[in-house]
Amino acid sequence: MTQAMRIGYLECFAGISGDMLMGALVDAGAPIEVLQKTAASLGLGAELRLSRVSRSGIQSTKIDVMVEGELQEPAAATGPVEHGHDHHHDHVHNHEPSLHHHAHQHGRSLPQIRSLLMAADLTQRARNLSLSAFTLLAQAEGRIHGVPMEDVHFHEVGAVDAIVDIACSAAAADALNVDGWYCSPVNVGSGFVNCAHGRFPVPAPATAELLKNAPVYSAHVQLELVTPTGAALLRALDCRFESTPAMRTHSIGYGAGTRNPERFPNVVRVSIGEIAHTPRFNPETITVLECAVDDLSPQVLAHTAQLALDQGALDVMSAPVTMKKGRLGTLLTVLCKPADADRLQQLLFRETTTLGIRVREENRVVLARETTAVQTEFGVIQVKAGSWQGEEWNAAPEFEDCRRAAAAFQVPLKTVMQAALAAWRTRQARPVSTVEAGSRS
């Protein structure tokens, strides 16, 4: 059975940021009243100011975050950007402030921001998208600075507008009721930016981390074009980076950045339309890496498996095997995306005693996946669910969330896991609105 699938296609020829995406989605038809309501419900005293501006002759929507009548802008970093542009990493040329989160600075932590988003007036789908974006940001910063994501703090200066940008972009995407998102290759710009830890090349470390495995390029201007917030939203939307699909376009929106470089349209464009779609399980190609060892301690094997997961492996498995001369050994199997295979092969050679790795590509089908945050007596727990054609078939609470909650409340791990599943089932049993019943964005 073939049916129409509603999609959004993002063209990031001038990069992307939270405020640019927000403007483009409103320009494409998302009601500004929904975004204003979302901003007010966050309890941060924020309002949105909408204006129409021209960027290289293109009429676009510009949305600014205001608090008590003042535009939310952080203090600029010291020193100019390399190449002499009047641009600072904390005051991006065309975007919302680029938040860098350092555990040693005062600011809102991820659990605090989760609490804000859980209390806000958001649909479940918009709340999930917001939480996913901030979790991705915290994970990226945590990997860069070597701290757990729960310990990452979002810098106080500029935090309000980043929270509003993400929550309102999520609300706008949800209001457009899109089933899936596509994205062009992303122009990241070039040059250098000044951060709290020194001068770094564009893209900044958090942005580069978030854009791993996405097609990126640098062209036209020597400016920072993608902020961590914009990159996190692309990841949270689960964009498919493909050429423009054959689609019937219904609306087009342009979201403007702050700067207006000469002969360079500083906008992101979004097209909303439909494509013919045959419901099926989602197919994908993965790489399988295997090696068998009989002279390695279990501790080293466990360490290697964790390193592989930290470096992007989709899954790691070990099984006992009998090797030559009757020796007992371990078969180590790593599943990964093809783009990550070389890096993980190097890891296996470096960390184990193997002299050879079997490599093959296999096809697999997967359920559509969505992570939902549920409120329990032990705090907010993320629950992963797998679905097909809108019907959720499997669900499991996020282990690390449950482990942390069990330790904090000094209760058995299984108690937290049972509470999370009960809260998820309660959410499933509630009647949902027409927007909430649509496919995930």
Per-residue pLDDT of the chain (441 residues; tens, 9 = 90+): 556 789 999 999 999 999 999 999 999 999 999 999 999 999 999 999 999 999 988 999 999 999 887 776 543 332 223 332 333 333 333 443 333 333 334 468 888 899 999 999 999 899 999 999 999 998 888 888 888 888 877 764 347 888 999 999 999 999 999 988 999 999 998 888 776 666 778 888 889 999 988 999 998 888 889 999 999 999 999 998 887 888 899 999 999 998 888 889 999 999 999 987 655 667 788 999 999 999 999 999 999 999 999 888 999 999 999 998 899 999 999 999 998 999 999 999 999 999 999 999 998 888 877 888 889 999 999 999 887 766 778 899 999 899 999 999 999 999 999 999 999 888 754 433 322 323 333
Helix H or strand E segment including 397: strand 391-397
Residues 6+ positions from 350 with CB-CB distance below 8 Å: none
Question: pLDDT by residue (tens digit) across 153-177?
Answer: 776 434 788 899 999 999 999 999 9
174: left (phi over 0), alpha (psi -120 to 50) or beta: alpha
Structure tokens at 407: 């330790």
Please give the Cα distance from 256 to 54 (Å, whole number).
Answer: 8
For the chain, what percentages of helix, strand and coil (3-state, to nearest 5) are there?
Answer: 35, 35, 35
Element (H, E) at 10: strand 3-11
Dig out the tokens for 221 from the structure.
Answer: 């201007």
Question: Residue 39 and residue 286: Cα distance in Å, rounded?
Answer: 41
What pTM was computed for the model? 0.66
Tokens at 374, concatenated: 């549920």
Residue 223 C-alpha from the chain's centroid = 23
The one-letter amino acid at 199: R
Domain ranges in the chain are 3-277, 282-366, 368-429
Q: Which two tokens stand for residue 93?
A: 């040329």
Contact 153, 170 (CB under 8 A): no
What whole-number distance in Å separates Cα of residue 265 and Cα of residue 295? 60
The CATH number assigned to the domain with range 368-429 reads 3.10.20
Whether domain 282-366 has CATH 3.30.70.1380 = yes
Q: How far apart are CA 217 and CA 230, in angstroms?
A: 16
Contact between 208 and 186 (Cβ < 8 Å): no
Do 372 and 382 form a contact (C-beta atoms < 8 A)?
yes
Helix (H) or strand (E) holding 255: strand 248-256
Other CB atoms within 10 A of residue 439 CB: 16
Contacts of 401 (CB under 8 A, 6+ apart): 380, 381, 382, 420
